[in-house]
Amino acid sequence: MNKPDHNNTSSQGIGRGMVIAAWILLLVLLTLFFNDRLDRQKNPNQQLATAMTDGIPEVRLQRNRFGHYVATGSINGQAVEFMLDTGATDVSIPEGIADRLGLQRGQTVNYHTANGTITAWQTIASEIQLGPLRLGPVRASINPHDQSNAVLLGMSFLKQLDFSQQGNTLTLKYPNQETGK
């Protein structure tokens, strides 16, 4: 009768464990790689492309794969993710982000959105920054109905800038005071 070889069985068990650990490590690494890739597809402007044209700073944003302009910037010195929205009257800040930023709730106001009428609070952002572009104070609203992680960068900010789109690139800059633009 043959005696079981405990060393051989033990080696096979360790070998199987190493193969399983290697597959788990590979899956974790692939998950991290593709999550980062998806984040960059959602916000291709995490590192803003900036330039100077005739001494005027400008920001060039690339459209994301969903057709939106999303960029990393700041409100009152704290990092936020913006989605540019020329259809929004004001900068619209989700309530959770407004709480993190310490923004004060002002008077309630009704806004007419694509999803119907909502009630939000008026507020003021001392400063909004997108790359080298800084504006403030800027009228904004705190939206208790928005659970997203992006601030809608509306016309209360955008109307103070010149912006133009060419292809999938949106360029924003301060107005040229000399030509009266």
Superfamily of domain 49-173: Acid Proteases (2.40.70.10)
Dihedral (Cα; 163, 139, 148, 114), 10-degree rounding: -80
Q: What is the structure's pLDDT at 11?
A: 73
Extents of the domains making up the chain: 1-42, 49-173
Sequence-separated (6 or more) residues with CB below 8 Å from residue 98:
105, 123, 142
**Tokens (6 digits) for 23:** 């597959």
| pLDDT number for residue 114 | 80
> For each of the chain's 181 residues, which pLDDT tens digit applies?
555 555 666 777 777 877 787 778 777 776 666 555 544 556 888 888 888 888 889 999 999 988 999 999 999 999 999 999 998 999 999 999 999 999 999 999 999 888 889 999 999 999 999 999 999 999 999 999 999 999 999 999 999 999 999 999 999 999 976 544 4
Which residues face 175 on adjacent strands?
none
Q: Look at residue 179 in the predicted model and tell me its pLDDT.
A: 43
Which tokens belong to 149? 């992680």
Tokens in use for 134? 């800084």
> In sequence order, which residues have a C-beta less than 8 Å from that of residue 55 and are 6 or more positions away?
none
What pLDDT does residue 97 have?
97
Task: Give kind and range of the element (H or E) at residue 63.
Answer: none
Please, are residues 48 and 71 in contact by the beta-carbon 8 Å criterion? yes
**Three-state DSSP state, 73:** strand
Sign of CA dihedral 142, 119, 85, 154: negative
Residue with tokens 């060039």: 60
**Structure tokens that stand for 34 in this block:** 């593709």
Residue 177: its pLDDT value, please? 62
Residue with tokens 């709480």: 99
Q: From 147, 153, 149, select the one nearest 139 (Cα to Cα).
A: 153
Which pLDDT value is given to residue 8? 65
pLDDT at residue 155, as a whole number: 96
The structure tokens listed for 32 are 């991290």
